[in-house]
Amino acid sequence: MLADLYDLTGDTDWLERGLETARSLIPVYMDGGLVRGAAGIDWYESQMVPGDLLHGMARLALLAIHGDACLLTTNYTAK
């Protein structure tokens, strides 16, 4: 959502908040290079929708690097 707010408004505060949030979530949801299924568990479970988290984090990173040229669009399929 923070990536979308930045994309829609151009307000860099949204991007900065999103990147801060993503950095704080890495130790909670990542185990080495693998994503956990949910906070507090140590395994991956695709039905818990960690893909949405990964998509959001990737979109934030790409917006930070490429700005308007970011090709990864929003994903509202599971919302």
Neighbours of 35 (CB within 10 A): 19
Q: Is residue 76 part of a domain?
A: no
Provide the number of structural domains found in the chain. 1
Structural domain harbouring 49:
2-69
Q: Is residue 57 part of a domain?
A: yes
pLDDT band at 78 (very low <50, low <70, confident <90, very high): low
What is the predicted pLDDT for the residue at 57?
A: 92
Q: Is residue 77 part of a domain?
A: no
What is the predicted pLDDT for the residue at 79?
A: 55
Q: Is residue 74 part of a domain?
A: no
Record the pTM: 0.79
Assign 71 to helix, strand or coil.
coil
CA dihedral 22, 24, 27, 31 (to 10 degrees): -10
Q: Is residue 75 part of a domain?
A: no
